[in-house]
Amino acid sequence: MQTKVVYVYDEQTKVFKYPRVIAATATLPNSTEAPVPDGLWGKIVWTGEKWVGQTKEEYLAEHPVKAPKPTPAEELQANAIKDLATLKVAHQSQQSLNAQLMKENAQLKVQNTNQAQLNANLMKQLAGLKVTVDSLTPAQTTTQPQNN
């Protein structure tokens, strides 16, 4: 048995409803064998001679796609992700600061060690000078007369 496709439309509004496969010799009221052309959007209507409808651009201009509103759970998740990203940046900054402070602390320890060595050398030099000065001065104690 041979078949054919017919395109069924509403009896009063002539708006396309659905395609239907029927026997090749059969007829179906409110239908046509003219296929609905690709690229028609919105209400597709049979004029008696052809199908008419809107282009995609015309349809979207009349029916703009609205962005869906996020659910409270989605908003909460988005905020948590944003907070996590902020915390990661802050953590990286803190790690960088800690590394810099550790480097500066190590440099200060080296400077402190060097200064301690310099102080020790100066103390040795001072001790040597004191010995020299002591050997040059008589070890006499001078007393001053008292006024009565």
For residue 93, tell me if it sits in a domain.
Answer: yes
For residue 143, tell me if it sits in a domain.
Answer: no
Q: Where do runs of H (alpha helix) occur along 1-148?
A: 56-62, 72-136
Confidence band, pLDDT 50/70/90 cuts, at residue 146: low
- Percent of all residues in the chain with a pLDDT value above 70, rounded to a whole number: 92
**Which neighbouring-strand residues pair with 9?**
16
pLDDT reported for residue 67: 86
Predicted confidence (pLDDT) at residue 116 exceeds the cutoff of 90: yes
User: What is the spatial distance between Cα 9 and Cα 43, in angstroms, rounded to a whole number?
Assistant: 11
108 and 89 part of one domain: yes
For residue 13, tell me if it sits in a domain.
Answer: yes
Q: Residue 90 is part of which domain span?
A: 67-130
The number of domains in the chain is: 2
Count of CA atoms in the C-beta half-sphere (13 A) of 47: 5
Phi and psi based region of residue 118 (left: phi greater than 0; alpha: psi -120 to 50; beta: remaining): alpha
Provide the whole-model pTM.
0.46
From the CA atom positions of the chain, what is the Rg in Å? 50
Q: With the C-alpha atoms ordered 102, 104, 107, 111, is the resulting torsion angle positive or negative?
A: negative
Residue 32 amino acid letter: T
pLDDT tens, 64-81?
888 889 999 999 999 999
